[in-house]
Structure 1
Amino acid sequence: MGKQIGAGLFLVVLLGMVVFNMVTEEEKDPAEGEAEEYNVSGDPSQEGTAITPPNAPDGLEVGEKAPNFTLKTLDGETLSLSDLRGEKVMLNFWATWCPPCREEMPRMERFHQKYGDEIKIVAVNATGSESSIKKVKNYIQEGGYTFPVVLDKELKVNNDYQAIALPTTYFIGTDGVIQQPRKVGPMSYEYMVKMMNALN
């Protein structure tokens, strides 16, 4: 009888230790180099999200000259950022596999239709992360998007602008300088209007 009580008591203590360890493990920060998991399904009232690595750079700062680039458009033409000097520019980094980007694109098209004469949208596709250029072309055609889309096949422009998370948008003034803080995550239509009006 004493052995049975002792064994039962041992099991209770052992079970208590297991439960205690499980609870304290959940409260600890993830180990160095271990990925932390987040629920990005989000609050339905939010407009979307973007995921940024923990030690990602902060991106280019307000007051910095926007780095020039020359990339091919989906139509095979060449577009250089310097060609747009003297105009306001919304430089958007995106990919077809990015759900927040897909959420944002129809708003960008609506904005482009209304304000395309006042500000230029340039959508830089992270082509080096896409499965094919054909997929990008099909996505743009099916969506009826008419703003310029350029292909960053080597991801050099994405790297130059430190667009680690997608979508990321920079707001460039007529002087070729970044005039507003970058936006990481999808923009609302109202936010685009606000940023356009903040540029000079």
Structure 2
Amino acid sequence: MKKFLVIAALVLGATGVNAQTDDDAATLTKVGQQSPVFEFNAEKQKTASIDSYKGKIVMLNFFATWCPPCRMELPRVQKEIWDKYKDNPKFALMVFGREEGWDKVLPFKTANNYTFNILPDEGRKVFGLFAKQSIPRNVILDEEGKIIYQSTGYSEQEFNKLLALLDARLKKPQP
């Protein structure tokens, strides 16, 4: 199994996994729509609502610990997004392990030295509001909770578009 995952990751890394468009049959939301309202486990004993993040640019990332393209994307999320914007009060990052509980996401976070929160999404409760299938999946919400970007799959080109959008929205104003 490990050999298969390594080979799959190498093949996917060489060719990329192209992002899919909003009209993808698996995607339930569209750019320009308000985000579905949902609650999630922010900590083991604490829930939060997406509504409490209004006023911030919010990036939602849906992944699975077993997914090779997700494993290629998450190090970039750490280095190029979280490390850059974690101290920006106008930014929030939520990384959801689709169909995975605390028992899977916490050891995965530790093993990969990620410093951003990885949250469980057992039963696809959050993911299912945005899509039927396909990961990795990224969604960016503006300060009013409107979807301003979404992508499926991983490719360097599409990830670079996501980075450019975040940079444009979160760049500190010049004095």
* Global fold match (TM > 0.5): yes
Distance 1:46 1:109 in 2: 22
Contact 1:42 1:48 in 2 (8 A): no
1:77 matched to 2:49? The reply is: no
Deviation at 1:96, TM superposition (A): 0.5
- Higher strand proportion (structure 1 or 2): 2
CA contact (8 A) 1:79 1:150 kept: no
Q: How far is 1:199 from its partner?
A: 4.4
Are 1:137 and 2:109 an aligned pair?
A: no
Equivalent residues of 1:74, 1:137 under 8 A apart: no
For 1:50 and 1:179, how far apart are their aligned partners in 2?
Answer: 15
Alignment partner of 2:160: what SS?
helix
Question: Normalised by the size of structure 1, how large is the TM-score?
Answer: 0.66
**What CA distance in whole angstroms lies between the structure 1 residues aligned with 2:73 and 2:160?**
12
Give the CA deviation at 1:40. Answer: 8.8
Percent identity over paired residues: 26
- Structure possessing the higher relative contact order (Cα contacts under 8 Å, 6 or more residues apart): 2
- Corresponding residue for residue 18 of structure 1: none
Gaps (5+ residues) in structure 2? 1-7, 171-175
Change over 3 Å in CA distance of 1:197–1:178 after alignment to 2: same
Structure 1: runs of 5+ lacking an equivalent: 1-38
Aligned length: 155
Root-mean-square deviation (CA, aligned residues, Å) is 2.8
Contact in 1 for aligned 2:31/2:148 (Cα 8 Å): yes
Partner of 1:119 in structure 2? 91
Structure 1 residues 59 and 187, CA gap change in structure 2 (3 angstroms)? farther
Decide which structure has the larger Cα Rg and report it. Answer: 1
Partner of 1:27: none
In 2, Cα distance between equivalents of 1:176 and 1:88: 8
Q: State the TM-score, normalizing by the size of structure 2.
A: 0.75
